[in-house]
Amino acid sequence: MSSRSWSLPVKGESICPYCGVGCRLELDGELGPYSASIKIRGVADAPANLGKICAKGSLLGETIATPDRLDHPMMRSSRGETFRPATWDTAINKVAGRFREIIAKHGPDAVAFYGSGQLDTEAAYLACKLFKGHLHTNNTDSNSRLCMASAVAGYRSSLGSDGPPNCYDDIEIADVVFIIGSNMAEAHPVTFDRLKAAKAARPGMTIIVVDPRKTATAKIADIHLPIRPGGDIALLNALCRLIIDFDMCDEGFIAHHTNGIAALKEYLAEEKVSALCAAAGLDQTQVERVARRISRTQTFLSFYCMGMGQSTVGTWKCNSLINLHLLTGQIGKPGAGPFSLTGQPNAMGGREAGLLAHQLPGYRFVDDAGHRRELERAWKQPEGSIQPKMGLTAVEMFRSLEKGQLKAIWIAATNPMVSLPDLHLVKRALERAELVVVSDAYHPTETTLAADVLFPAAQWGEKEWTSTSSERLVSFSPKLFDAPGVALSDWQILARMGKALGFSGFDFENSAEVWEEFRALTTGRPCDMTGITAKRLRSDRHVYWPCPTEEHRGSPRRYLDHVFPTPDGRARLLARPHQVPRELTDHEFPFILTTGRLYAHWHTLTRTAKCEKLNRRDPGAYLEIHHDDARKMDIATGEVVQISSRRGTIRLPARVSEQVAPGQVFLPFHWGDLYGEGNAVNYLTIAATDTISKQPELKFCAVAVEKIPAELKVAVRTPTPAEVAQVFAQVQVSPAALMDPVTR
């Protein structure tokens, strides 16, 4: 029944659909079930990867034609029922009808769209146009809220605009590289390898890593600061204070290009360096060494990621890091600047297209009357129709569903039943929802199993898509092979829904037309892409923004003129006091739990679990615990332990090591309910959020760890592809299940 042919030739280039490094891949070979016969290499002249790729990218071929691909729309009339295949018209009209009824009864804010940094810019733009512009609800957010929201808010409050100032070429000219809250070695491996090579070529380069764990990244550091989780602001304030005390500030830069120095100095003068180091859990002589190294360098570059953002003070952490760059004048010149590493392949594009609940396309904002008017005009909507209030953000959407206020949610390209904090809350929310629609490339996922309607999405390689990497490089990826069954691109699904809801403005022939409409809305904005036409993208392949004209070559670096997009052109130094994390440990929950990623797996495993080599490298979930703590509880590696927080309990095998500090434990978050019901890490985590960015505290909660009786033990590991196929064959009703048998 599947329309997929079993040996499709594949040849061409594409941007890797995993991390925000944005490697350009070259594919050559044939695609078939679990096919490993596509050779995937890095493109030599690609600015991000210079010919390199990592294992996840090179093994993409095996993740495409799997038996659990969702290839037809599916529906069911109640949650207990199994899904039935449906035509696109039936499924789309059903959802449009339910949306209309719910909006008529409860108003537009009873519906929501929860998207992803894995949607292409065209789809993110159309989601924003449909929900904010036509249904008039700002309940339009994405999983970037769990990921980049604090970086976005930090850039905007400190520098006047979102978007990193840097490009990867800064690596080779930086003298000091400060990596804080990023495990690049596993999460951005190609960038990490580039850094390692730069260090090998210039041994004088100093690498400083700030991470509570002795990560693979920390292993190459000249100085590793094993910070107490949540202690970053204290450390950054200590560094700023020391640099002021050493009289090593860039006074000229501060005087001409910043505001707020007097208030910052006054605030820091009240703080004691010793107390700040104690709050950060760090040795003062080490911190002084770092301050001296930073203050004496020509070029100072920092990389930061989730150890900074996923915190109730994530925005302030980012402000504090930017303070350090502004005080030392280390921004707006090659080799220097605060460089947030983007997680997902198009988290940047989603921000540019206005997918977050406070944004509109082109780095515009719903709380700005002028911005709303510009979009209302562009979208031919009545004046005053776009709402001025920020919509519900990721976690808030699920809280609102749980309370019965939000009634319907459309989830696309994200798997919240694994990735959101406090999964018991998420479960209750989805159960209470009147309508759950999920667009995904696979079924089952933990989230599709909670849905009423499923839309099959064409995924990487099966559609044209435009994405922006961490370094603001906008790239085009052509379609390389057909999607299974009747799966459509996400933008096509959104456009169909717009039409079914009776709106004009959703009639697009192809993705280039969507891009052109979006591009025109960036003119004069900080993320100006006027010069990046669909045609140019299809011939030049990639261009850096800002790029205001078609003749412009694009801008690998921003702020070279030291003029910032604030009303007076100056960046802002902001005094940000250290605060303790939201949840404290006590005698009942004595351990600090931090969570994160492993090299071989991508998020909730819908793709990387299909790949035997990747599973071999990272075969299953585990709790990492320090030798001293393990010894006290008589826990050995491999023994199953019970981990509890104030929200839930899970059971996983222990891994005893010295990578984590005593009193702390680490859990990788990839494995959801499909791999051991009830054992996902996010049953433990806390849904507390940063008050400004609304990003949740996924890096810190209090837990208890106990050894459990042998008879209660459960084994949790990634099944082999054959086992996966067996599981899927049992629950699958999609025609995808009837695809050719798995041959390995």
Ligand X SMILES: Nc1nc2c(c(=O)[nH]1)N[C@H]1C(S)=C(S)[C@@H](COP(=O)(O)OP(=O)(O)OC[C@H]3O[C@@H](n4cnc5c(=O)[nH]c(N)nc54)[C@H](O)[C@@H]3O)O[C@H]1N2
**Interacting residues with ligand SF4 (CB under 6 A):** 16, 18-19, 21-23, 49, 53-54, 56-57, 189-190
- Min dist CB 604 to ligand X, Å, is 3
Separation in Å, CA 40 to CA 43, 504, 535, 599: 9, 41, 26, 18
Could you tell me which residues come within 8 angstroms of residue 518 by beta carbon, excluding any fewer than 6 positions away?
Answer: 121, 122, 125, 353, 361
Which x/- pattern over 174-213 shows residues binding ligand X (rule: CB under 6 A)?
------xxxx--xxx---------------------xxxx
Residues 57, 233: Cα–Cα separation, whole Å: 35
Separation in Å, CA 673 to CA 203, 425, 444, 680, 739: 46, 15, 11, 6, 25
Q: What is the identity of the amino acid at 527? A: C
Nearest residue to Mo ion by CB is 343
- Min dist CB 346 to ligand SF4, Å, is 11
For residue 438 the two structure tokens come to 């999920």
Report the SS3 class of residue 365: strand
- Min dist CB 111 to ligand X, Å, is 18
Q: Which is nearer to ligand SF4, 166 or 469 (CB)?
A: 469
In which residue are the tokens 């669909």 written?
A: 534
Our finding on whether 457 is near ligand X (CB under 6 A) is yes
Nearest residue to ligand SF4 by CB is 57
Residues 251, 228: Cα–Cα separation, whole Å: 32
Q: Which is nearer to Mo ion, 297 or 467 (CB)?
A: 467
- Min dist CB 307 to ligand SF4, Å, is 18
Could you tell me which residues come within 8 angstroms of residue 500 by beta carbon, excluding any fewer than 6 positions away?
Answer: 92, 93, 95, 96
Task: State the DSSP string of 465-528.
Answer: EEEE-TT-EEEEE---SPPSTT-B-HHHHHHHHHHHTT-SS---SSHHHHHHHHHHTTTTSTT-
Out of 116, 191, 237, 732, name the contact with ligand X by CB under 6 A: 116
- Min dist CB 478 to ligand SF4, Å, is 17
Our finding on whether 152 is near Mo ion (CB under 5 A) is no
- Min dist CB 271 to ligand X, Å, is 19
Our finding on whether 467 is near ligand X (CB under 6 A) is no
For residue 47 the two structure tokens come to 């600015």
- Min dist CB 413 to Mo ion, Å, is 12
Which x/- pattern over 22-61 shows residues binding ligand X (rule: CB under 6 A)?
----------------------------------------
Quick one: 490 exposed, middle or buried, by C-beta within 10 A (0-12, 13-18, 19+)? buried
- What's the angle, vertex CA 469, arms to CA 476 and CA 322, rounded to 5? 155
> From the list ligand X, ligand SF4, Mo ion, none, which binds 21 (C-beta under 5 to 8 Å, kind-based)?
ligand SF4
Task: State the DSSP string of 366-406.
Answer: TT-HHHHHHHHHHTT--TT-S-SS----HHHHHHHHHHTS-
Residues 625, 631: Cα–Cα separation, whole Å: 10
CB 437, CB 409: distance < 8 Å: yes
Q: Which is nearer to ligand SF4, 151 or 184 (CB)?
A: 184
Could you tell me which residues come within 8 angstroms of residue 645 by beta carbon, excluding any fewer than 6 positions away?
Answer: 589, 593, 684, 685, 686, 701, 702, 703, 704
- Min dist CB 199 to Mo ion, Å, is 26
Q: Which is nearer to Mo ion, 42 or 345 (CB)?
A: 345
Which x/- pattern over 324-363 shows residues binding Mo ion (rule: CB under 5 A)?
-------------------x--------------------
Our finding on whether 143 is near ligand X (CB under 6 A) is yes
Q: Which is nearer to ligand SF4, 19 or 91 (CB)?
A: 19
CB 179, CB 208: distance < 8 Å: yes
Paired strand residues for 275: none
> From the list ligand SF4, ligand X, Mo ion, none, which binds 16 (C-beta under 5 to 8 Å, kind-based)?
ligand SF4
- Min dist CB 734 to ligand X, Å, is 14
Q: Which is nearer to ligand SF4, 22 or 108 (CB)?
A: 22
- Min dist CB 344 to Mo ion, Å, is 5
- Min dist CB 345 to Mo ion, Å, is 10
Our finding on whether 439 is near ligand X (CB under 6 A) is yes
Q: Which is nearer to ligand X, 118 or 469 (CB)?
A: 118
Phi, psi (degrees; rounded to nearest 5) at 112: -150, 155
Out of 57, 343, 391, 484, name the contact with ligand X by CB under 6 A: 343
Q: Which is nearer to ligand SF4, 16 or 435 (CB)?
A: 16
Report the SS3 class of residue 198: helix
Could you tell me which residues come within 8 angstroms of residue 197 by beta carbon, excluding any fewer than 6 positions away?
Answer: none
Residue 734, number of CB atoms within 10 A of its CB: 29
Region of 331-339, 358-366, 597-605, 712-720 interacting with ligand X (CB under 6 A): 597-605
Out of 481, 545, 559, 602, name the contact with ligand X by CB under 6 A: 602
Which x/- pattern over 294-313 shows residues binding ligand X (rule: CB under 6 A)?
-----------xxx--x---
Q: How far is CA 260 from the centre of its chain?
A: 31
Q: Which is nearer to ligand SF4, 217 or 679 (CB)?
A: 217
Q: What is the identity of the amino acid at 155? A: Y
Separation in Å, CA 501 to CA 94, 103, 380, 723: 11, 12, 16, 42
- Residues in contact with Mo ion by the rule CB under 5 A: 147, 343
- Residues in contact with ligand X by the rule CB under 6 A: 19, 116, 118, 143, 146-147, 180-183, 186-188, 210-213, 215, 227, 229-230, 232, 305-307, 310, 343-344, 412-416, 418-419, 439-442, 445, 457, 459, 490, 594-597, 599, 601-604, 606, 669, 681-682, 685, 698-699
